[in-house]
Amino acid sequence: MEKMDKLILITGGAGFIGTHVIKLFVRKYPNYRIINLDKLTYAGNLENLRDVENLPNYEFVRGDIVDKDFIDRLFEKHRFDGVIHLAAESHVDRSISNPLEFINTNIVGTVNLLNAARQIWANDSEGKLFYHVSTDEVYGSLGETGYFTEETSYDPRSPYSASKASSDHLVNAFHHTYGLPIVMSNCSNNYGPYQFPEKLLPLFINNIRNNKALPVYGKGENVRDWLYVGDHANAIDMIYHNGRLGNNYNVGGNNEWQNIMLIKKLIEILDRKLGREVGTSLNLLSYVKDRAGHDLRYAIDSSKLQNELGWEPSVNFEQGLELTVDWYLDNEEWMRNVTSGEYQKYYEIQYMKR
């Protein structure tokens, strides 16, 4: 293989955001060699990456970040220049029913990666970087006003956000204790193509299309800030290349929606696109028991990222929602495969034969 400028490990590249980050990096930086490490849990789907899987600067490795020996060997073998760490258990509801998986992957897995990076960069960390991708949920829950800034104290309230907060603290601890070159970002709710249909938007798009009930938690009063996933991938690109070492950057869409308002907007778009009289699918609304410890409101102040690195969201929400709905309507087979578990066979067929 010809000499590449950088060898970057991206973890969790078969997941929702990872898919977009991998595609951006392998196409934009043909001189970087990108290794995608993913365990392929229920949330990892290699079908997402079909259009880049044969590019010469891309390689997939299946593995578990919780397996310390495997991670040490992988780092020893490849001696990466950079790591962009996205692999995680990411769904709050699952963390409420099974917290341990979140502790293992999000905390132990992150420490394994940090330790392995520390070892290979012990004598020369010039130009090396460990980029940890995190969430705004580490800051806890806001009342009706205010925003999370990079100075907001951590106050995680779900097993998911507590596990991500722990991993953030450990990333900072490795920077301060061992001088590991790190950077980190905390982003608000992402939406867009390839999101697993356990999360609000793809779940509700699929249910509206199939005339299934829409389980609104509580009264639907909770507020989230929504950012198009491609804008998050662009932020990751900018922060990876220009972020200041040891810093964290908040990433958000400045786009707050109360759940019920967002769901009604979605119903309107889908009714229109499906040729139903607008408002027909409102009868699918089904108010169900609230999520335990449900955070009321997240809102992000991303002015540090905007002022320092010149990032800003490029997709406005109206357009982003339309194109997201179009994508799910056009990719019925993807949705069918994902909901039936069929996609997990793809790995066997595609990779075991090699």
What residues are labeled active site?
Answer: 136-137, 160
Closest CA to 103 of 164, 183, 44: 164
Q: Of all residues in this chain, which one has the CB nearest to ligand NAD in the complex?
A: 15
- From ligand NAD, ligand TYD, none, interface partner of 187 (C-beta below 5 to 8 A by class): ligand NAD
206 binds ligand NAD (CB under 6 A): no
109 binds ligand NAD (CB under 6 A): yes
How many Cβ atoms from other residues are within 10 Å of residue 286's Cβ? Answer: 11
Sheet with 58-62, strands from edge to edge, namely 58-62, 32-38, 6-11, 82-85, 129-135, 182-187, 248-251
Q: Which is nearer to ligand TYD, 26 or 165 (CB)?
A: 165
- Residues whose CB falls within 8 Å of the CB of residue 68, separated by 6 or more in sequence, listed in order: 112, 115
Distance in angstroms (rounded) separating the CA atoms of residues 317 and 45: 26
DSSP string, 157-179: -SHHHHHHHHHHHHHHHHHHHH-
First to last CA, the chain: 19
Cα angle 313, 306, 186; round to 5: 75
The residues that touch ligand TYD, with contacts defined as CB under 6 A, are 92, 189, 199-200, 203, 215-217, 222, 224, 259, 291
Distance in angstroms (rounded) separating the CA atoms of residues 267 and 32: 42
Of 6-14, 114-122, 205-213, 328-336: span binding ligand NAD (CB under 6 A): 6-14
Q: Which is nearer to ligand TYD, 64 or 256 (CB)?
A: 256
- From ligand TYD, ligand NAD, none, interface partner of 190 (C-beta below 5 to 8 A by class): ligand NAD
Question: Residue 56, class by beta-carbon neighbours within 10 Å (0-12 exposed, 13-18 middle, 19+ buried)?
Answer: exposed
66 binds ligand NAD (CB under 6 A): yes
Distance in angstroms (rounded) separating the CA atoms of residues 140 and 251: 16
88 binds ligand NAD (CB under 6 A): yes
259 binds ligand NAD (CB under 6 A): no
Q: In the complex, what is the shortest distance from the CB of residue 74 to ligand NAD, in angstroms, rounded to a whole number?
A: 11
By rule CB under 6 A, what string of x and - marks binding of each residue 158-177 to ligand NAD? Answer: ------x-------------
Closest CA to 59 of 41, 40, 34, 22: 34
Q: In the complex, what is the shortest distance from the CB of residue 287 to ligand TYD, in angstroms, rounded to a whole number?
A: 9
Output the six-digit token pair for 321. Answer: 């929602």
Of 13-21, 76-84, 110-118, 287-295: span binding ligand NAD (CB under 6 A): 13-21
Q: Which is nearer to ligand TYD, 59 or 290 (CB)?
A: 290
Q: Which is nearer to ligand NAD, 19 or 281 (CB)?
A: 19
DSSP string, 191-259: ESTT--TTSHHHHHHHHHHTT--EEEETTS--EEEEEEHHHHHHHHHHHHHHPPTT-EEEE--S-EEEH
43 binds ligand NAD (CB under 6 A): yes
18 binds ligand NAD (CB under 6 A): yes
Q: In the complex, what is the shortest distance from the CB of residue 276 to ligand NAD, in angstroms, rounded to a whole number?
A: 29
- Residues whose CB falls within 8 Å of the CB of residue 42, separated by 6 or more in sequence, listed in order: 196, 341, 344
Of 116-124, 141-149, 188-196, 316-324: span binding ligand NAD (CB under 6 A): 188-196
38 binds ligand NAD (CB under 6 A): yes
Binding stretches for ligand NAD (CB under 6 A): 11-12, 14-18, 38-41, 43-44, 64-66, 86-90, 105, 109, 133-135, 164, 187, 189-190, 196
